[in-house]
Structures are given as structure tokens and as C-alpha cells.
Amino acid sequence: MNKNIKETYLIPFILIFISIIISTFTNNFIFSFITISSGVLNGWYAAVGKWYNYLFGIIFNFLNAYVCFKSGLYGIFIFSCILYIPLQITGLFSWYKKTGSNNKIKVRGFNTKTSLLITIICFSGSISLGYILSKVPSQNLAFLDATSNIINVCAFILMNLRFKEAWRVMLGNNIVDLTIWILNFYLKTPNSFIMLLVSVSYLILNVIGLIKWERKKR
């Protein structure tokens, strides 16, 4: 089977089919299906370097913002509205312009100094934002919320700029997100089960993306 057909149609079809099956076990089939399917398609198409991953990312971030607001994760809600959704839109145009003849983007890479800078920004930013969020009434999991946001912003920017190291940053963010939704599922917050499933899916897709992008030539 042609590799492009497999990446573009076959695997996404399987992911959609799995999303349908999972959604039947939730209380809101339509909301669950759109959230899960848009999340996994965003992750998959990003992993294989397709510019239209951002179309699904925009949908997912709108729904994610809604769920986070209901769960008291105000940091992720605010960042989704003012940063993640706009970054998805700019990423869409940025990747589209840099797409090669094979409909895939051209990968970039950075050096050790840049890696150290990103690490410092993520650590200091997480502590600072976590302190601010901890002062917000009814805020849930302030420092985890903050860490997820700061790492995610860095990952978004690096991904928009087509740096393959973005996948390492996203993998770290996914581990934080997975922790957040495991705790929220335990606390029985609204739609936490759906977001937990999406986080698990993203973890798997991030590993695939990391492997694929590490193999790409700059």
C-alpha cells in the first residue's frame, strides 16, 4: 500500500472508528466523538508532518477550553483562548507556506544552547504562573495547570517553526496533562474521562511523532 495513502486515509479512518466506539460508552456521544477524533487526528497528522493537522487542532482547543473551564483549570482555559487557538491558526498558515512538493513540511533543528534556554523558560515560567494561579479562587491543580501551559506554549511555538525538538517538549507536556486528567478523573470533574482518553492517545501519538521527526532530514 502506498505510504501516503496509509498516512493520509487508512490510519485516520481507523482512529475515527476507534473514536466512535469509545464515544458510545460516554454520556454525550457527539461531544465525545468530536473531542476525541479532533484530538487524535491533530496528533496523527502533526506526527506525519501534514499542515492540515492544525484544522483539527483548532477544533480540539475550543472544546478543551470548555472542558477546562468546567474543571476549574482556568490557566489552560485562558491560555487556550488567548494563545493556543491563535497559535493553531498561525501554525496552519506557517506550515502551509513551508510545505514541499510531497505535501509535507521541511524540518528544522536547534543546538544545545537553545535546549537549555527552553528548559530554563519552562521551569521558571511554571513556578511563576503556578504561584499566580494558586491565588485564584476555585482554581484546581494550580502548579500542574501552570506547568502544562508554559510547556505547551513552548511546544506550540517550536512546532510552528518546524523544530523537531518540539516533540520532546510536547512529550513532557503530555505527561503533565495525563497526570492532570488522572487526578480530575479521580475527582470526578465534568468530561474528565474524555480528556483522559485524549491524553493517553496524545501520549502514544507523541511518541510516534518523536520517532518520525527524529528520522527526518533538516
Q: Is the pLDDT of residue 26 over 90?
A: no
Query: Per-residue confidence at 45, pLDDT binned at 50, 70, 90?
Result: very high
What is the pLDDT at residue 88? Answer: 93
Q: 162 near 105, Cβ under 8 Å?
A: yes
Q: How far apart are CA 210 and CA 100, in angstroms?
A: 20
Q: State the chain's mean pLDDT as an integer.
A: 89
Q: Is the pLDDT of residue 44 over 90?
A: yes
Q: 80 near 61, Cβ under 8 Å?
A: yes
What is the pLDDT at residue 215? Answer: 79
Query: Per-residue confidence at 125, pLDDT binned at 50, 70, 90?
Result: very high
Q: Is the pLDDT of residue 218 over 60?
A: no
Query: Which of 31, 68, 45, 214 has the alpha carbon at shortest distance from 149?
Result: 68
What is the pLDDT at residue 191? Answer: 87
Average pLDDT over residues 29-53: 93
Phi-psi region for residue 100, left (φ > 0), alpha (ψ -120 to 50) or beta? beta
Alpha-carbon distance values, 212 to 26, 95, 206 (Å): 33, 17, 10
Q: How far apart are CA 6 and CA 19, in angstroms?
A: 18
Q: 45 near 162, Cβ under 8 Å?
A: no
pTM: 0.85
User: In the chain, what are the domain boundaries?
Assistant: 3-99+108-215
Percent of the chain predicted with pLDDT > 70? 95
Lowest mean pLDDT among 38-42, 101-105, 197-201: 101-105
